[in-house]
Every structure is written in structure tokens, then in C-alpha cells.
Amino acid sequence: MIRAYIADIVKHLVQSLFVIVLSGIPAAAHFSEGAKVRTILVAETDGVLIAYVRVPAPLVFSDLVGKAQVDQAPLLSPFLRVETTGSGVRYRLDTEAIFQDRSSFEDRLQKALIFSQAGLDLPSSITGFTIRNNRPIQALDRVAAARAALNAESSSLDPVFGQAFIDYAVRFDSPDPGGVLQIQSGYAPLLPGPGVSIENHLVDARVDPPVSTTASGQLEAPTVMDGSRLSTFLHFVFQGMLHILEGLDHVLLVIALALGVGATRKLIYLVTAFTLGHSVTLIATFLGATPSWSWFIPAVEAAIAASVLYAAIAAMVNKSGSVLVFTGIGLLHGLGFSFVLSDILGRNAPDLVPALLAFNVGIEFGQLIILALTLSFVLALERLATPALRPARFGTLTAIAILSAWWVTERLGGMVSSV
């Protein structure tokens, strides 16, 4: 009776997987083309705590933008102007209005982020700001770079609101400039559009060399900067685990591999080959060894989908593939990992090597979790409901093959349109 019950559960799980396949799960698993990055660099100069911020302009007005979105009303601010274009209406920063009422604009900058220590908000003042047409190429990774950014001239034209960036510096009255710092948004969040994500690069230059970490979202909840290299390492380990567990194509590849090989010595060889492959391309990409062609990322995404299809079909016909093949598949997936990592870690990050190592370690932990769960499920099914094992395995692999074939078609279309 127990075996029949388990077999029935397995049947429904496989059916559910087919439903998911037919529902057309989105295939963009590796990177966000609309990633908007805010950089916050904290430093101590002559015993004074200073924060240098580079922020997309809409985040400085997020409370007003969010209200306009909810009310479906025009965006109103004395520092913005509206213009009509051939495709509709858009907003620009009004630089003349900003510099005519500089104190009010600085007040808005000052309140955009709340810096606190020991539960108390730190008194602060703006020491300077610069308005940019778009995000500068020079990263804000050192104090010297931050100071140079502030000394640059503001845009002579009114920048497009959605493309503009603002560099500014905030000075704090802190009793402990080197102590633990909490940072939180001072304004209500806006509603990001489809495919848009917001990332925060946090650089603690109070230690030498500086320590960098990341935080996703608009900082509605406080994030902590403490200069700890251990917490930074653990953060990127978590990010690596999170990415492989959230990336459905990576998950399905590992499941197909486990179902094709089982708990054998060959599984160790193939997983090791996959690991070495993705480690090589992940590191190489951050050293600038990949091209910047517009079609390159869509092509890699399509190839990753094809690799999942290959793994599923190979497992179905009991041809698990060779070490060389899975090294190549690892090279492809490493490119995919690098695309998402580039949204949360800059190539000029002061502790790039430890961050890359930690991200790789996180990927391996995530991989081991998927393998352990898959093999445990197979073992439990083998012992409790042996007749259900073969159809469950075949059904799962078939569902993976159908979904990955859909991804191949979808992503090839994206590649063609990007050429």
C-alpha cells in the first residue's frame, strides 16, 4: 500500500513537471540586461567618516516615482522637466533648477540614504555633487577615484532622467568612524520595470585594501558594512549558491547528469570536469577574455540550453557523455555564471580574487545540494516504490528535454534579433 501511495505521488510530480514545461518558464536565467547599479564607498579621512555615492537618478526620487506609478499620475518635482518626443513623453533632470536651488537638491540627496551606528542615525551634510549623463566608465573603487569623480564638471545638458547618474559625497558626525555601519534607503521604493534589477556595490575603504560586497534591491531593509573579509567571503559563497539554485537550466543539467550516471565513480569525474570548466571561463571573463559582440550573450544562452537538452537525451539513452564533453559544458555554464556575477561585482573590485573564489565555492555547494537531493530521491524511490522508478526517471528526463528544446528555440530567436 505504501509503495502504491508513493508511486501515485511520483506520477503527480512528473505530471506537474510537464505542466511547468508547457507553461513556458522564462529562460533568462543568467543576467539582467536592465541592471541598475548604485555604488556606495565609505572612507575615513582624518578621523571623519565620509561616504561617496554614485546613484542612478531615479533612486534619488524613488518616493516621487513610486507615488506617480501607483497613482498613475505625472511625475512632479521642481528638479525635473518634461519633454515630448516622437515616441511619447520623457523626463529630464533640470540642471538649471538644481543649481538655482542647490540647498533643496542637496537636502534630497542627504535624505536618500540613512546611515546609522548603534541604532542611531548619523548627522550628515552634503559636501559636493556632480550630475552625469550616464554611468561613468571609471569605477568608484578607491577614495582617489571617488574624489576625482566629484571634481568632474556636471553635465552641461539636461540628462535623460532614466539614464542620468549623480555622484555625491556625505560627511558624517560619527563617534566611531571605523565602527559597524548600517545603510538604508530614506525614501519609499519605486516599482522597477520588467527585466530591471537594482544592485548596490558597497566598498569599505576604511580598511586597506578595501573590502567590497553587494546588496540587491533598493535597501528597504538595512545592509551592514563592517570591513569584515570573512563576512564578504561568506556573502559571495551565498551568492554562488543562490545563483545555481535559482538558475533553472543549471539545476536541470545537474539533475539530468545525476539521473544519467547515478551514484557512481563516473559521476565524480563528470562533476569535476564540469566544475573545472566553469571555473576557467568564470575567471577568464573577469580578466576580460570574452568578446563584447552584441550576439555573444544570447549565443551562450542558447548553447547552455542545448547542453541541457544534450544531457537529458544522453541520460535517456544511457549515454552519459565523456569527461571532455562535460568540461566543454562547464566552459559554457561558466560564461553564464559570469554574466550574473558581473551585475553584482565589478572587474575593478578591490578584492576581486577572493570574491571569485567564494562565488565558485558557493556554486559547488549548490551543485552538491542538487546532486544530494536527486540521488536521495532516486534511492528512496528504489527502496519504497521500485516499479515507479523507471517511469519517474524517464518522465523527468523527457520533461527536461522538452523544456530545454523550447529554450533553445527561444534563445536562438533572441540571438538572431541581436545580430
Long-range contacts of 232-237 (CB under 8 A, 24+ apart): 232/351, 232/354, 232/355, 232/358, 233/354, 233/355, 233/357, 233/358, 234/358, 235/358, 236/345, 236/354, 236/355, 236/358, 236/359, 236/362, 237/358, 237/359, 237/361, 237/362, 237/365
Query: Residue 221's pLDDT is what?
Result: 92
Handedness of CA 117, 119, 124, 130 (dihedral sign): positive
Phi, psi for 38 (deg, rounded to 5): -105, 135
pLDDT band at 4; cut points 50, 70, 90: very low
pLDDT in tens, 120-176: 899 999 999 999 999 998 888 889 999 999 999 888 889 999 899 999 999 999 988
pLDDT band at 28; cut points 50, 70, 90: very low
Q: CB–CB of 237/14 below 8 Å?
A: no
Query: Residue 215's pLDDT is what?
Result: 87
Query: Residue 347's pLDDT is what?
Result: 65
Amino acid identity at 266: K
Higher pLDDT, 395 or 111: 111
pLDDT in tens, 313-333: 988 888 777 888 888 888 888
Q: CB–CB of 290/399 below 8 Å?
A: no
Q: Is the pLDDT assigned to residue 22 strictly greater than 50?
A: no
Query: Residue 292's pLDDT is what?
Result: 67
% pLDDT > 70, the chain = 87
pLDDT band at 263; cut points 50, 70, 90: confident
Residue whose entry in the numeric block shows the C-alpha cell 566544475: 275
Query: Residue 344's pLDDT is what?
Result: 64
Q: CB–CB of 417/299 below 8 Å?
A: no
**How many CB atoms lie under 10 A from the CB of residue 251?**
21
Section 365-393 average pLDDT: 84
Q: Report helix, strand or coil for 51.
A: strand
- Rounded alpha-carbon distances, angstroms, from residue 366 to 139, 152, 158, 403: 31, 44, 46, 22
Section 184-202 average pLDDT: 88
Return the half-sphere exposure (C-beta side, CA atoms, 13 A cut-off) of residue 42: 26
**How many CB atoms lie under 10 A from the CB of residue 336?**
26
Q: CB–CB of 42/225 below 8 Å?
A: yes
Q: Is the pLDDT assigned to residue 2 strictly greater than 50?
A: no
Q: Is the pLDDT assigned to residue 237 strictly greater than 60?
A: yes
Mean pLDDT is highest, among 88-97, 320-329, 373-382, for 88-97
What is the spatial distance between Cα 403 and Cα 309, in angstroms, rounded to a whole number?
8
Higher pLDDT, 265 or 337: 265
Q: CB–CB of 342/31 below 8 Å?
A: yes
Section 180-205 average pLDDT: 89
Q: Is the pLDDT assigned to residue 348 strictly greater than 80?
A: no
Average pLDDT, the chain: 83
Query: Residue 109's pLDDT is what?
Result: 97
Q: Could you check whether the bond before residue 222 is cis, i.e. omega within 30 degrees of 0?
A: no
Query: Residue 190's pLDDT is what?
Result: 92
Closest by CA position to 51, among listed 104, 127, 103: 127
Strand-pair category, 88-93 with 113-117: unpaired
- Rounded alpha-carbon distances, angstroms, from residue 8 to 4, 11, 359, 398: 6, 5, 39, 18
